[in-house]
Amino acid sequence: MTLFSRVSSEDRRDDVGALLRELRDVAEGLDRAEQKLAAIEALEGGDAAASGGAMQHVRLLCRPGGYAFSENDGPPPAVGDLLEVDREVFLVERLGPSPLPGDPRRAAVLVLAEPAPE
């Protein structure tokens, strides 16, 4: 019976919208995985700690009212990139070693550029 039941165009639009959102999520996950792989392949030596550092990074978010620290999945962003974090836009000012003792990850220093557009 379900093969012959009528489906409204609104139901089809909802289904297509859900599929497009799911496809976008999968594409974003694939993009993150490709970035990790590229960062790992760029490492010389193949050291386990170094590959862990390529797959994660820390961020120091600099705001006029103070600083915040976060741990992030994926390779660090490039210097000059603009990133939106908590509805604010930050400029990646520089990259350096993690401020945490014994941490092989890179640290990205982000400076508040402007409030994020709504």
CA dist 98 → 4, 8, 20, 70, 71 (Å): 61, 55, 38, 11, 10
Q: Which of 19-23, 38-42, 91-95 has the lowest mean pLDDT?
A: 38-42
Q: What is the pLDDT of residue 91?
A: 95
Task: Provide the strand spans (E) within the chain.
Answer: 56-63, 66-73, 82-85, 88-97, 106-115
pTM here is 0.55
Give the pLDDT confidence of 24-79 residue by residue, as tens digits: 888 887 787 777 677 666 665 555 555 555 578 999 999 888 999 999 988 889 99
Closest CA to 75 of 31, 103, 35: 35
Tokens of 73: 């999945």
